[in-house]
Homo-oligomer: A and B are copies of this chain.
Amino acid sequence: LRNLADDGSLQHLSLNTATVRRQADLLAIVEAAKRHGISSLSPWRDQVEAVGLKRAVDAVRGAGFRLSGYCRGGMFPTDTELRADMLDDNRRAIDEAAALGAPCLVLVVGGLPQFSRPGSSPSNDIGEARDQVEDAIGALLNDAMVARVPLAIEPLHPMYAADRACVNTLGQALDICEALDPDGRHRLGVVIDVYHVWWDPNVHAGIERAGKGGRIHAFHISDWLVPTRDLLLDRGMMGDGIIEIRKLRGAVEAQGFFGPCEVELFSNDWWARPIDEVLSTMIERYRTVC
């Protein structure tokens, strides 16, 4: 199977707006993406808020862009007294995703409650945090279905288990999907980000399982640098690291996923470069190594 990129177009490329978040606001990012022939985006919630939801919707629609996701809901583990606020916050995220026409709401599920929702009492019980994640997703499933915004659980690399996401493998995310939405009626699914899952000896089995269940909602790409100098802000541009991106993309497409490759870098290095350099490099790498 050849990757979809082989047609030479950019129709299967999407820009996650965090990749250039330091350089420009969302409206300027839309303009820059358009200049480079990109027509798919995945915006972040704070970037939408900064320009206002209505202007964001107008800009995206005006440019004729499709979205590949909306980042992000989640941060579920919390004290009991903050739980209602946490659920409301996630319901607002679902509504925003619907307004923007996003095909899914990406869930970064949160780690221990003191990091997930600051102000919560400290607990190191990661098993309990995981139970809270499953419980909260269950509580939101119906809202998501009514709004026609599928929820997409993103397993994060285990180095983020304490403070960002206690769902750390594709297998674990799929266990939650199958427990809460066994027949797929609620379209609960996953985001597969190569940065988070490349190391997993079971990643190919997980991709197949996700595909068979129709649960692949998004596919994110970037690269793992050696050495990695910062746990959060040192993701590499595709081709600069060691992830077998093409192989993983082939596996996802072999499961019938035809959504775009969404480029998501958090990188002090790339954030320091001009937006046009980032976008042209990203396009060149997409065409040559993905």
Contacts and interface: CB of A to CB of B under 8 A. Distances in A.
A130 B130 CA distance: 30
A268 to B, nearest CB: 14
Contacts of A157: 158-159
Given A126-B198, A162-B224, A228-B231, 16 more contacts: A115-B226, A124-B244, A125-B244, A126-B199, A157-B158, A158-B158, A158-B200, A159-B231, A161-B199, A162-B199, A162-B226, A166-B199, A168-B199, A169-B201, A172-B201, A227-B231
Chain copies in complex: 2
B159 A159 contact: yes
Q: Please provide the 3 A-B residue pairs with the shortest distance between their CB atoms, ordered closest to farther.
A: A161-B199, A158-B199, A159-B159
Given A157-B158, A163-B226, A242 B201 contact: no
A163 B126 CA distance: 27
B201 A130 contact: yes
B168 A227 contact: no
A243 interface: yes
Contacts of A159: 157-159, 228, 231
Interface in A131-171: 157-159, 161-163, 166, 168-169
A163 B227 contact: yes
Interface size band for A: 20 to 34
Interface of A: 112, 115, 124-126, 130, 157-159, 161-163, 166, 168-169, 172, 198-201, 224, 226-228, 231, 241-244
Contacts of A243: 124
Given A124-B243, A126-B244, A244-B125, A201 B162 contact: no
Contacts of A169: 201
Chain B CB count within 10 A is highest, among A158, A161, A226, for A158
A241 B157 CA distance: 18
Contacts of A199: 126, 158, 161-162, 166, 168
Nearest to A172: B201
A166 to B, nearest CB: 8
A248 to B, nearest CB: 11
A109 to B, nearest CB: 12
B201 A168 contact: yes
B158 A112 contact: no
